[in-house]
Amino acid sequence: MAKKLRSHNFSGRGARNIYPWEEWFDGNIWELTHGEDFHGEAKSFRSNLHTAAAKYGGKVRTNVRDNGNIVFQFYVEDGN
């Protein structure tokens, strides 16, 4: 049965970045190694890159290599 609590310390919990987006979104071209830099399907992680880039105010160019690695570059579109 569900139990109502008066309080709870949520420190150390909740949404947190497990990937170094700020480092990766520096405008350089990066290659992420499947099974080392990310886990799961490359196509799924590719979607994560696009979502994270939008949160950082930009976009990413991506390619999935035959070996499952992902090559990407973060960029911000010029508003002109």
What digits encode the pLDDT tens for the residues 47-79?
Answer: 999 999 999 999 999 999 999 999 999 999 986
State the Cα–Cα distance between residues 58 and 73, nearest whole angstrom. 10
Q: Is residue 17 part of a domain?
A: no
Domain that holds residue 42: 27-75
What is the total count of domains within the chain?
A: 1
Q: Is residue 7 part of a domain?
A: no
Q: Is residue 58 part of a domain?
A: yes
Residue 31 dihedral angles phi and psi, to the nearest 5°: -120, 120
Strands (E) in 1-80, as ranges, are: 29-32, 59-64, 70-75
Q: Are 58 and 73 in contact (CB under 8 A)?
A: no
State the Cα–Cα distance between residues 40 and 22, nearest whole angstrom. 21
pLDDT in tens, 25-55: 999 999 999 999 999 999 999 999 999 999 9
pTM of the model: 0.76
